[in-house]
Amino acid sequence: MSKACSERSWRRTRKRASAAHLSKRLRMMRRTKPQRAKTRKAYQKVRDRHACSLSSLLTCAAEEQLVRWRAKKKHFFILSAAGKPIYSRHGTESITSSYIGVIQAIISFFADNGDTLQSFESGGHRFAVTSSGPLYLVAISSLGETPSQLRAQLDALYTQVLSTLTLSQLNKIFSHRYNFDLRRLLGGTEVFLDGLVDSMTRGSPQVLLSALECVKIRKTYRERINNLLLKTRSQSLLYGLVVADQRLVSVVRPKRHSLHPPDLQLLFSMLFNASTFRDGSEHWTPICMPKFNSKGFLHAYIHFFQPDICVVLISADKDAFFEMREMAANVIAGLKSSSLLSHIVASIPRYTPTDLVPGTPIRHFLYKSRQNVQFTMPAWGGHYTTQSSRRRVMTLYHKLHASVHAKSAHLKVCFCSRKQEETLAWVLPGFELYVVAAPGAKREAVAKGAQKIVNWVRNEEERLFVIGGATF
């Protein structure tokens, strides 16, 4: 009985639906041909309006993205000799591909005429180009750096590429496949390239001076840390380092091998300009140090046992992880038990110019020891709390550096008066000093303060710099 009722109700529902559909079709058929055409045109207008609005939105978004890209004060590009894009810090591939094509055409034009393009200027921007093996590296800047300063930055960028791919591997790849897309092999390492580029955009004193910075710590403490590294040394160890806040605390090395500043700059940039290694975990990673050996890999054990302090142990043996791990554990335990760790933590904050010369108008300075290829600088202080103000000061340092290092210049001292700061450069065979002072400061007061800084550095040299390091 229930089954028959359900079948009848289903038939009635179907008849009603069929009737409604038939009624709708009849109403549509009753419309005249002009009415149907008018309806179609209305629908078409609505569709076109929506399509235009979507297209305009996409166009506006692309134009806005292009405007933001052009507003950047600095760009870095890496491309292959065949014109394949490899790296760009800013912009998507749809934006940068056309520009990279133009750059490739300009470079090829000079190469076809037997010349090498190094730099040129256009529209307030300076372009610097270097050819390194099968790669072209290009820097575009409106921050006032000289071509030689930009090329030094490109050399640092090329060194970062070689840290992932050795020079022999790079040459082998492009000798077999001229059009090879290198991005496949560099995938995942962009974070290190980005970190290095961002630091150079902010104005890296390490790259400007081609020097290394060390933590200011007592000589006796540094020697005790060196002895701890030597005492716990593993047989597979090549280099052992303690690093704090992107500054060297201590290093041990073989007597026949030294660590070159560019290699250490590369290592410190990887450690501190990206968050990859700063998670408190242990890391074992291959790394090429081009100045040591551009044709092979070393292997680095990295452990940040404090937020800004790490132990780095480098070995030529790829299977030495557990040896390095045991040594690192002994080093960290020794630092904690002997209170050396507390001394390192206390040494991280920087000094100020007024600590050295009370009442001086000098606000900031860079001092480079040419013999040690190391530099020191004070804290930025209250006058330079923003990134833009620090970038402005670094621009002044770049200009001072260029004025005393130009090929045609024979200056030992250069004093410049500007609206916001007074600046001084002083270069002698043993050191380079670059000073920024308060606006309106008298030249004699700035020179007197600079002389006191030089005297203070000479007295504190063994605390400020790692001289020789420990060897085995």
Tens of pLDDT along 155-209? 999 999 999 888 888 888 888 888 888 888 888 888 999 999 999 999 999 999 9
Tens of pLDDT along 272-284? 988 889 988 999 9
Examine the pLDDT at 245 and tell me if it is beyond 60.
Answer: yes
* Cα–Cα distance for residue pair 275/432, rounded to 1 Å: 33
Mean pLDDT of 232-240: 95
Burial of 14 from C-beta contacts in 10 A (0-12 / 13-18 / 19+): exposed
**Which segment, 90-104, 202-216, 410-424, is predicted with the most confidence on average?**
202-216
The position carrying tokens 């006191």 is 452
Strand-pair category, 431-437 with 470-471: unpaired
> Of 44 and 439, which is predicted with more confidence?
439
Q: Which of the four pLDDT bands, split at 50, 70 and 90, describes residue 49?
A: low
The position carrying tokens 């069929």 is 18
State the DSSP string of 217-254: --HHHHHHHHHHHHHT--TTEEEEEEEETTEEEEEEE-
| CA distance to 95, 108, 119, 274, 450, per residue, from 177 (Å) | 26, 19, 29, 32, 56
**Residues 120, 125, 131, 137, Cα dihedral to 10°:** -170
> Of 109 and 446, which is predicted with more confidence?
446
Q: Which of the four pLDDT bands, split at 50, 70 and 90, describes residue 35?
A: low
Examine the pLDDT at 72 and tell me if it is beyond 90.
Answer: no
Examine the pLDDT at 126 and tell me if it is beyond 50.
Answer: yes
Examine the pLDDT at 368 and tell me if it is beyond 70.
Answer: yes
Task: Check residue 28 and give its pLDDT.
Answer: 52
Model's pTM, two decimal places?
0.83
> Of 55 and 280, which is predicted with more confidence?
280
**Least confident span in 47-61, 166-180, 336-350, 418-432:** 47-61
* Cα–Cα distance for residue pair 202/421, rounded to 1 Å: 19
What 3-state class would DSSP assign to 352?
A: coil
> Of 114 and 380, which is predicted with more confidence?
380
Closest CA to 127 of 114, 118, 116: 118
